[in-house]
Chains A and B, each alone.
Chain A
């Protein structure tokens, strides 16, 4: 009972609320364009952008030098790769190319994207299961917002940097989405932790398990809360990840995890 209460407190602290799934993906995309001065010349970029797969319509604001695109919800922002090579360009690259072919210079691309915020080995990411893409995030001073929404569906507004496989979404604003979209949570009781280093190592081990979106470990409460994709992770794998890990100067089996049911 004590553990159950602790888990509930931990869940409340981490803000891992559950709710209905929201529509994921790019909900809006605005590109700032340098060189836009006359409507007649802007026609070329209109024509090019309307041919971009995923773009449904657009509105050109010449005075502000920007073009607002209405895109299909299932349009991938980043490119798809096969065997380590980029197989198809993502929406961001296609839009950038269209603007260039229209005779102008794309300067900044601002997007609103919905997905699930997670932390991986490479850092913060926005995972959009509906389109099967993972968008790397640069927290840009919004770490608190990302942490608060970790493991949850959230809407991120930011600017895109880089091209092809190196696209990064520089976070400008994090807004709470409509909940976790049915993600599973697992609480673990963990013994053997003596410092924050232990907690970090265990968190890393848990997040390396395929299907895990995020993990939080509290060394004082001897607890871990793990967010996973529904039906993708057998809880026993979480236990194995902790029970089988070693740390320098500590024998194997130092850490013992139990599932809190």
Chain B
């Protein structure tokens, strides 16, 4: 507990993210409670094609204890409008798996998440310092995976704009169709339901009418691992939305990534 509080305080002092970057066997768009083994180091690169551009999230993961992990995310971002590209805002995240119940062939876990994004990206970025938090739960077994989480993001002001705060909720199911042996490729199919409620943005303290709303998405994906390598990919397809004012319909997001544990 003390270690986690220390990490949280350090994170606050040093440095977005809704934390929707997957680690190990976790949802691609939601959160999961998995952590890295103690003193373990991991690298992850994740390409996310989003509305109006794409981001390449480069992540460095570290296992402080078997139940506490920290992550540094340094994204490279390309935005279509305006046409800019470069390193985006750095994010520091921490995850404390405060409850873990191991049983033969499976694990139940609950974790707290905390993160912060600093306005290091310069031009094209929101220019704000944002805080992120959440709680996630999972049951993992040899055949099935179940995930659920609640998360929020408190957005700061940047470039005279304060983006609306975000509350999100996710559930996910995973299936391992073939239970392979340890050194064989291991495939897990995922489907997620992702809900996101975004508050109205403010420009110089004045609410922006055409901003914010509620979007519900269904997201199929896969996780393919070979020992300490993992390849992952998925689509987030909006299936229902209630947006404030006049806004374009949300677009499909695509994510592909590779993760390596040293």
Which A residues form the contact surface with B (CB < 8 A)? 32-45, 47-48, 59-63, 65, 100-105, 107
Bound Cα distance from A217 to B142, whole angstroms: 57
Interface centre among A35, A39, A101, A102 (most CB of B within 10 A): A39
Which residue in B24, B63, B66, B182 is a CB contact (below 8 Å) of A62?
Answer: B182
Bound Cα distance from A189 to B139, whole angstroms: 69
Q: Which 8 pairs of residues, A with B, have the shortest CB-CB distance?
A: A44-B37, A35-B102, A34-B102, A40-B225, A105-B102, A101-B38, A103-B66, A35-B107
Question: In the complex, are the beta carbons of B103 and A34 less than 8 A apart?
Answer: yes
**12 A-B pairs, CB-CB below 8 angstroms?**
A35-B106, A37-B106, A41-B25, A42-B182, A44-B261, A45-B37, A47-B37, A62-B142, A65-B104, A100-B66, A102-B66, A103-B36
Residues of B within 8 A of A35 (CB): 100, 102-103, 106-107
Residues of A within 8 A of B176 (CB): 38
Which residue in B40, B66, B142, B225 is a CB contact (below 8 Å) of A37?
Answer: B142
State the main secondary structure of chain A at its contact with B.
Answer: mixed
1/0 per residue B29-43: CB within 8 Å of A? Answer: 000001111111000
Question: In the complex, are the beta carbons of B40 and A47 less than 8 A apart?
Answer: yes
The distance from the CB of B44 to the nearest CB of chain A, in whole angstroms, is 12
Bound Cα distance from A59 to B223, whole angstroms: 23
Question: In the complex, are the beta carbons of B183 and A41 less than 8 A apart?
Answer: no
Question: In the complex, are the beta carbons of B37 and A103 less than 8 A apart?
Answer: yes
Q: Closest chain A residue to B259 by CB distance? A: A40
Which B residues form the contact surface with A (CB < 8 A)? 24-25, 34-40, 63, 66-67, 100, 102-107, 140-142, 176, 179-184, 186, 188, 223, 225, 227-228, 230, 261
The distance from the CB of B168 to the nearest CB of chain A, in whole angstroms, is 25
Residues of A within 8 A of B102 (CB): 33-35, 104-105
Interface contacts beyond A39-B183, A40-B223, A40-B228: sample of 8 additional A-B pairs, CB < 8 Å, sorted by A: A37-B105, A37-B107, A37-B142, A40-B230, A44-B36, A65-B105, A101-B37, A103-B63
Question: In the complex, are the beta carbons of A43 and B228 less than 8 A apart?
Answer: yes
- Check A40/B24 contact, CB under 8 A, given A62-B181, A102-B66: yes
Residues of B within 8 A of A62 (CB): 142, 179, 181-182
Q: Closest chain A residue to B36 by CB distance? A: A44
Bound Cα distance from A107 to B107, whole angstroms: 14
Bound Cα distance from A174 to B107, whole angstroms: 35
Residues of A within 8 A of B103 (CB): 34-35
- Check A101/B107 contact, CB under 8 A, given A38-B25, A38-B186: no
The distance from the CB of A124 to the nearest CB of chain B, in whole angstroms, is 31
Q: Closest chain A residue to B66 by CB distance? A: A103
Which residue in A33, A38, A63, A101 is a CB contact (below 8 Å) of B66?
Answer: A101
Residues of B within 8 A of A104 (CB): 102
Question: In the complex, are the beta carbons of B105 and A61 less than 8 A apart?
Answer: no
Residues of B within 8 A of A47 (CB): 37, 40
Bound Cα distance from A104 to B261, whole angstroms: 17
The distance from the CB of A42 to the nearest CB of chain B, in whole angstroms, is 6
Residues of A within 8 A of B227 (CB): 39-40, 43
Question: In the complex, are the beta carbons of A63 and B181 less than 8 A apart?
Answer: yes
The distance from the CB of B212 to the nearest CB of chain A, in whole angstroms, is 37
Residues of A within 8 A of B107 (CB): 34-35, 37
Q: Closest chain B residue to A43 by CB distance? A: B228
Bound Cα distance from A102 to B107, whole angstroms: 14
Question: In the complex, are the beta carbons of A63 and B37 less than 8 A apart?
Answer: no
Residues of A within 8 A of B39 (CB): 101
Question: In the complex, are the beta carbons of B228 and A48 less than 8 A apart?
Answer: no
Question: In the complex, are the beta carbons of A102 and B37 less than 8 A apart?
Answer: yes
Q: Closest chain B residue to A97 by CB distance? A: B38
Question: In the complex, are the beta carbons of B40 and A40 less than 8 A apart?
Answer: no
Question: In the complex, are the beta carbons of B225 and A38 less than 8 A apart?
Answer: yes
Q: Closest chain B residue to A34 by CB distance? A: B102
Residues of B within 8 A of A37 (CB): 105-107, 140-142
Which residue in B24, B38, B142, B188 is a CB contact (below 8 Å) of A63?
Answer: B142
Q: Closest chain B residue to A106 by CB distance? A: B102
Bound Cα distance from A130 to B146, whole angstroms: 50
Residues of A within 8 A of B38 (CB): 48, 101-103
Bound Cα distance from A37 to B213, whole angstroms: 38
Bound Cα distance from A40 to B34, whole angstroms: 11
Bound Cα distance from A176 to B39, whole angstroms: 44
Residues of A within 8 A of B181 (CB): 39, 61-63
Q: Closest chain B residue to A44 by CB distance? A: B37
- Check A36/B105 contact, CB under 8 A, given A100-B66, A102-B66: yes
Bound Cα distance from A107 to B186, whole angstroms: 25
